[in-house]
């Protein structure tokens, strides 16, 4: 079963972090600039939360909170689910499905080293299946 480490090795790490005391406005700007759907909130080198587009809509916009005066800690999702590079890819997909989230921080020895989206995981799964299908076609055709 493929491990997350295999997927992570094929790309540059995507780690966008802020302290939870920062205003929502800073996170929103960074998310727009870098075209990412979430930022990780780290305090004393420890992951304490995640702020996503969903959090922005549900916890900020829906409540008409001011972006420049609302701290991320008040609208973040605390203690997000995480994975390690040694976790199986399907295990990570299942964790995300069960939690109803789209972003998965990757921790190694308690420190954030990357973040994957459900899109990253599903595209990797599709690519693997396409390779298996091509192998089966070649086998059937006797090549």
Reported as a single tens digit per residue, the pLDDT across 34-71 is 999 999 999 999 999 999 999 999 999 999 999 999 99
pLDDT at 141: 81
Reported as a single tens digit per residue, the pLDDT across 64-117 is 999 999 999 999 999 999 999 999 998 999 999 999 999 999 999 999 999 999
Instruction: Answer yes or no: are the C-beta atoms of 55 and 27 closer than 8 Å.
Output: no
Q: Taking the domains of the chain in order of start, what are their residue ranges? A: 4-140
Categorize the per-residue pLDDT at 133 as very low, low, confident or very high, splitting at 50, 70 and 90. confident
Q: Which CATH number applies to 4-140: 3.40.50.300, 3.10.580.10, 3.30.300.30, 3.40.50.10470?
A: 3.10.580.10
* CB neighbours of residue 54 within 10 Å: 16
Instruction: Determine if the pTM surpasses 0.75.
Output: yes
């Amino acid at each position: 079963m493929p491990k997350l480490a295999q997927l992570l090795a094929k790309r540059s790490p995507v780690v966008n972090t802020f302290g939870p005391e920062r205003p929502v406005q800073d996170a929103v700007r960074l998310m727009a600039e870098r075209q990412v759907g979430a930022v990780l909130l780290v305090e004393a080198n420890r992951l304490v939360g995640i702020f996503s587009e969903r959090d922005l809509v549900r916890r900020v916009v829906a409540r008409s909170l001011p972006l420049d005066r609302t701290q991320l800690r008040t609208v973040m999702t605390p203690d997000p689910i995480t994975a390690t590079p040694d976790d199986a890819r399907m295990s990570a997909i299942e964790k995300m499905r069960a939690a109803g989230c789209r972003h998965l921080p990757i921790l190694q020895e308690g420190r954030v080293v990357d973040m994957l989206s459900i899109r990253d995981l599903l595209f990797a799964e599709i690519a693997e299946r396409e390779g298996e299908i091509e192998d089966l076609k070649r086998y059937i055709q006797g090549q």
